[in-house]
Amino acid sequence: EDQVTQSPEALRLQEGESSSLNCSYTVSGLRGLFWYRQDPGKGPEFLFTLYSAGEEKEKERLKATLTKKESFLHITAPKPEDSATYLCAVQDVNTNAGKSTFGDGTTLTVKP
Amino acid sequence: DGGITQSPKYLFRKEGQNVTLSCEQNLNHDAMYWYRQDPGQGLRLIYYSQIVNDFQKGDIAEGYSVSREKKESFPLTVTSAQKNPTAFYLCASSAGNRGYTFGSGTRLTVV
C-alpha cells in the first residue's frame, strides 16, 4: 500500500528565515511525486511534479528535490504570503494512471 | 479561462437525505476525481473516472455514488448511507501523468 508521511505537521517561521518541509513516501514504483499549496477554504494549487531521484524544480522562493525515499520543499527567505498548507502526493506505477495518494500536509506560518 | 467549477460552495444535509455535488471542467481532461478532506488531514479518494461512462471506487467509496455521462461533468451524490458526511469535498481533473487541477471545493454539513 502506498504511503506518504509529511513532517513537520506545522512550521512557524519568521519572515526571511529559510527552512525545509519533508515528504517521505513508500511506493512499489514511483510514477511521479507532486507538491501542492492549499490556502484555507480553497482547493489545492499545483506547484511541482518530480519524476526521478536527483530531479529539482524551482518556482520563486520554492525549490523541490527528490530522492528515492523522500522529497524536500525548500523555502528560501519566506514571506507572509507563503503561509499555507503544503501537500505532497505520489502516484504509483502499479496503480491506475492518475490516482494519487496524499500526505496530511505541513501548515506553514510565516510571521512578519 | 479553463478550470474546474464546483457548486454549491456550501451545502447542508438533513439526516436521511441524498445530496448531489456538482463538478464541471472545461480543460478537456479525460480523468476526474473526487476527494474528501477532513480537518487537519490529507485528501482521501472517493471515486475516480478515466473516461466517459466508466468510473472506479477509491479508498472510501461506501455511501457515495457518481456518474460520468459527459467528459466535462462528474457529479458526486452523498447518500443517506454515508453516516459521517460532514467534510470538505474536492473535485479534480488531470491529463495523463500530470498534477491535478482542483476546484474550489464544497463544504458539506449535516444539520
Is residue A97 pLDDT above 80, yes or no?
no
Burial-class residue B82 by CB neighbours within 10 Å (0-12, 13-18, 19+).
Answer: buried
Residues of B with CB under 8 A from a CB of A: 4, 6, 31, 33, 35, 40-45, 48, 50, 56, 58, 90, 92, 94, 96-105, 107
How confident is the prediction for chain A on average, in pLDDT? 95
Length of chain A: 112
DSSP state string for A22-79:
EEEEE-SSEEEEEEEEE-TTS--EEEEEE-STT-EEEETTEEEEE-SSEEEEEE-S--
* Residue A1: per-residue pLDDT: 86
* Residue A98: per-residue pLDDT: 80
DSSP state of B69: S
SS3 content of chain B, % helix, strand, coil (to 5): 0, 50, 50
Neighbours of B15 (CB within 10 A): 8
Q: Cα-atom radius of gyration of chain A, to the nearest Å?
A: 14
The pLDDT tens digits of the residues spanning A8-38 come to: 999 999 999 999 999 999 999 999 999 999 9
* Residue B41: per-residue pLDDT: 80
**Of residues B8, B10, B21, B13, the one with CA closest to residue B111:** B13
Helices then strands, each counted (H, E), chain B: 0, 11
* Residue B68: per-residue pLDDT: 97
The pLDDT tens digits of the residues spanning A38-87 come to: 999 999 999 999 999 999 999 999 999 999 999 999 999 999 999 999 99
- Percentage with pLDDT > 70 across chain B: 98
Calculate the alpha carbon distances from A32 to A38, A58, A62, A95, B62 in Å.
19, 16, 18, 12, 28
Q: CB–CB of A87 and B43 under 8 A?
A: yes
**Chain A contacts of B35, Cβ < 8 Å?**
102
* Residue B26: per-residue pLDDT: 96
Q: CB–CB of A98 and B97 under 8 A?
A: yes
Length of chain B: 111
Is residue B98 pLDDT above 90, yes or no?
no
Is residue A110 pLDDT above 70, yes or no?
yes
Residue A35 grid coordinates: 507538491
Please tell me which residue of chain B has the smallest CA distance to A42. B104
* Residue A108: per-residue pLDDT: 98
Mean pLDDT, range B18-36, rounded to an integer: 96
Mean pLDDT, range B87-109, rounded to an integer: 93
Is residue A89 pLDDT above 80, yes or no?
yes
pLDDT band of residue B87 (cuts 50, 70, 90) is very high
